[in-house]
Structure 1
Amino acid sequence: MRSFFRSSRRPGADGQSGVFLALARCVPFALALLVVAIELSPAHFVYTGPVLTATPALAAVTMGPRGTVSAAVLALAVSVTTATYNQAWGTQPVYTNCVAVVLVSGASVMTSRAIARRRGIELDQVRRIAVAAQEVILRPVPARLGPVRAASLCLAAGTGAQVGGDLYDAVETCYGVRMIVGDVRGKGLNAVRAVAVALGAFREAVHYEGDPVEVMNHCAAALQRETAMPGAFDQEALMEGFTTALMAQVPPGEPAVELINRGHPPPLLLRQGTVHALTPTCPLPPFGLEDLITGPPVKAESYPFLPGDRLLLYTDGVIEARNRDNSFFPLAHIMEGTHADSPQHFLAQLHQQLLRHTAGALADDVAMILLDRLS
């Protein structure tokens, strides 16, 4: 579902800042080339020492230690080459310029290393805070829930301190075992806030709402209230404020599973070595697009869920994962070829297959819940 809306996303400040940073990194090398052009031309009488000395200093601001060393080596090479070409060795300006380049280069490299070290410490602190927050919001599902065994897996894509926008939970209630898996548009604080709101509404409503449709309506209403609050989300989040979600319910004493699908990828049922996609007969839009719901009242759709069956709920980060050949991850095929005696081992094998397929570089967040029907 996320890929369906991807083309409508407007370029933001991140793209503009990336272009500006790339241009800024070119400035030191452009200055070195300018010095070469002047020194090898009839205008070589122009004193270019200060310009060349500034090259490593500028590199220290926009590059890491390696880039600063490269700029320093280039500046020194240009200084030596142009002095030799112009037969200027033995003059005081040449020696002064070389000494200045060496001193500024050394100081620039040390400064660049200090900046990189400080950024690494700050980023590590933010990562730890983000991971702790995510573990509080996304707690692991219990290993046993009534008539099913369960396991969960959550992987955040990318680097840095980005917290994923995937959500999941599984709760045993008087109405049966109830689970939710969802995917919030975007990343960062807006996604974390939406995940917390949706899960909070779900964890409250599952215990007193008998109809799973009403549970999902509570989640949608909570997200609408949060989105309507002034300052709750930025303008981009308001424009793209939708969340795909899937709720599954295993009623007590019934060999079935009831599903409410709000624009989410259909769950996969593994029965006797064959995978079946539980595609909804009446597709519903994601949270945030309730105006598109028309027709008769929404009802949960029921599917057989027999002892020995395995049910996988997942986010689109799994099926949209690509390899170097730009091929999608064949989730259904991998499930049919995976054999494990427990949900934890099954998800662990899926995890390894996913990392192998993407060479360890996930482009999107991943969340999965696996259920084994026991009785």
Structure 2
Amino acid sequence: MPFALALLVVGMELTPAHVVYTGPLLTATPALAAVTMGPKGTISAALTALLVSVITATHNQAWGTQQVYTNVLAIVLVSAASVMTSSATHARRRSELNQVRRIAEAAQRVLLRPVAGRLGPVRAASLYLAAEAGAQIGGDLYEAVRTRFGVRMIMGDVRGKGLPAVRSAAAVLGAFREAVHYEQDLVEVMAHCAAALRRERAMPRGVGQDEEDPAEGFVTALVAEVCDGSMVRVVNRGHPPPLLLHQGRVHLLTPASPLPPLGLEEFLTGPAAAPESFPFAPGDRLVLYTDGVVEARDDDDVFFSLPGPVEAAPASSPSELLELLHQALLRHTEGHFTDDVAVLVVDRLDEEADR
């Protein structure tokens, strides 16, 4: 708008319409820039207004008249005030943004804290990347904890965006963190997560809070357990199947009986299926992830291939693999993520390392 006004003045002054007094339009240029632009933009608009004023006064041979000097003085005074106002507003907004980011980082440490590097018989590492610009947390969730039943993990993805998705993720994670310590059956752990999601969705919203779309809010989730022996037990509720790296080859741990996501229990056709067991020997690697990884696209709409980087770095540590995946995703998408990304890498240690 500020530069459009300056262009309008040029058009009027260089045509027979120059009889119209255009000084107020030029004076308003830096003031408008202070509202919509930062200090640099305001200075640019002020200089543009002065330049237009000089050009039009020269073209119309108006130098020496009181009108021209009054117009230039008004532009200078309004420009100075606009730059000071814009600078103060910019500083205040930056301070507010920094405060919001600090709060978001604190919330992330509570909701999506990094997993411990060593959990009994496994080594682990986690990665989370929010798709929303400036966001620290979103709708993906993960956790890995050591319990008396073994090492238990969850990976989930909330259907939806914004604060409703964060609330759903917090409800599911809170239920998981509590239930894993006293429920022996993984199916019951998942049932607690589903119940917490139902309670959260049934809570009345306060004035001004976003109402959740009934079609949104369900959660794809996967719960896994690594206990004694060379097996991993999995309950999958509509989530992308994990990858298992065994002897340099990647295998998909696809469930034999697909189940609907949490929040869509009406589509269950019978009692919840028992956990499925898969070989997970010392030296194997388990990769849990959300669909933001495998659905990441490049400029040609080609999906990201997760098995490739996993197979290419079998000797790396979990944290090193995550760094390689992060860089590969950035190259593939050129840094433009359309969905949140969460990855959890777990390595089964050998017997000597377990001691």
Same fold (TM over 0.5): yes
Residues in 2 aligned to 1:173 and 1:160: alpha-carbon distance in whole angstroms: 35
Query: Structure 2: which amino acid aligns with 1:224?
Result: R
2:313 is equivalent to residue 338 of structure 1 = yes
Match of 1:196 in 2: 170
Determine whether 1:80 maps to 2:37: no
Question: Which residue is 1:147 aligned to?
Answer: 121
User: Quick one: distance in 1 between partners of 2:300 and 2:133?
Assistant: 22
The aligned runs of 1:59-138 (5 Å cut-off) are 59-138=33-112
Name the structure 2 match of 1:252. Answer: 228
TM-superposed deviation, 1:191: 2.9
Distance in 1 separating the partners of 2:289 and 2:243: 9
Query: What's the offset of the Cα at 1:225?
Result: 0.6
Give the one of 233, 245, 248 matched to 1:270: 245
The Cα of 1:222 is off from its aligned counterpart by 0.5
Residue in 2 that maps onto 1:291:
266
- How far the C-alpha of 1:238 sits from its partner, in A, is 4.6
> Residues 289 and 344 of structure 2 are in contact (CA less than 8 Å); yes or no, is this contact kept in structure 1?
yes
TM-score when normalising by structure 1: 0.85
Residue 209 of structure 1 pairs with residue 219 of structure 2: no
Stretches of structure 1 that go unaligned for 5 or more consecutive residues are 1-26
- Tell me which amino acid in the other structure corresponds to 2:114: P
TM-score, normalised by the number of residues in structure 2: 0.90
8 A contact 1:258–1:302 mirrored in 2: yes
Partner AA of 1:262 in structure 2: R
Name the structure 1 match of 2:200.
Answer: 226
Residue 351, structure 1, aligned to residue 320, structure 2: no
| One-letter amino acid of the structure 1 residue matched with residue 240 of structure 2 | P
Distance 1:174 1:361 in 2: 41
Q: Distance in 2 between matches of 1:189 and 1:39?
A: 52
Percent of aligned pairs sharing the same letter: 68
Alignment deviations for residues 162-207 of structure 1 (CA, whole Å, 9 cap, x no partner): 5222211112223322110112234443333222211111111112
CA distance in 1, matches of 2:31, 2:243: 57
Moved more, 187-196 or 200-209: 187-196
CA distance in 2, matches of 1:36, 1:154: 52
Alpha-carbon shift at residue 279 of structure 1 (Å): 1.9
1:162, 1:188 within 8 Å by CA — same for their partners in 2? Answer: no
Per-residue CA distance 1:8-41 (angstroms, 9 max, x = gap): xxxxxxxxxxxxxxxxxxx223322332332233
Match of 2:282 in 1: 307
Deviation at 1:87, TM superposition (A): 1.9
Structure 1 residue matching 2:138: 3-state secondary structure: coil
Q: Which moved more, 1:215-224 or 1:140-149?
A: 140-149
Q: Is the 8 A contact 2:164 2:212 kept in 1?
A: no
Question: What's the CA shift for 1:86?
Answer: 1.9
Q: Secondary structure of 1:177's match?
A: strand
Aligned residues: 348
> CA offsets per residue over residues 35-76 of structure 1, 9 Å max, x none?
233223323211111121001101110112232223222222
Deviation larger for 43-52 or 322-331: 322-331
Amino acid at match of 1:368: V
* CA distance in 2: counterparts of 1:86 and 1:340, whole angstroms: 77
Q: Which residue of 2 aligns with 1:22?
A: none
In structure 1, the residue matched to 2:148 is 174
Q: Give the secondary-structure state (helix, strand or coil) at the position aligned to 1:149.
A: strand
- 1:43 alignment partner, SS class: helix
The CA distance in 2 between the partners of 1:306 and 1:162, in whole Å, is 35
Gaps of 5+ in 2: 351-355
Q: CA separation of 1:162/1:349 partners in 2, compared to 1, >3 Å: closer, same or farther?
A: closer
Distance 2:313 2:192 in 1: 37
Quote the Cα distance in structure 1 between the aligned partners of 2:149 and 2:266.
Answer: 29
The alpha-carbon deviation at position 283 of structure 1 amounts to 2.2
Mean CA deviation greater in 340-349 or 97-106 = 340-349
Identify the match of residue 16 of structure 2 among 42, 45, 49.
Answer: 42
Q: Would you say 1:370 and 2:345 are equivalent positions?
A: yes
RMSD of equivalent CA atoms: 2.2
Q: Would you say 1:242 and 2:218 are equivalent positions? A: yes
| 8 Å Cα contact 1:123-1:160 kept in structure 2 | no
Q: Given that residues 123 and 161 in structure 1 are in contact (C-alpha distance below 8 angstroms), is that contact kept between their aligned partners in structure 2?
A: no
Contact 2:105 2:136 in 1 (8 A): no
Change in 2 beyond 3 A, CA 1:151/1:162: closer
Residue in 2 that maps onto 1:54: 28
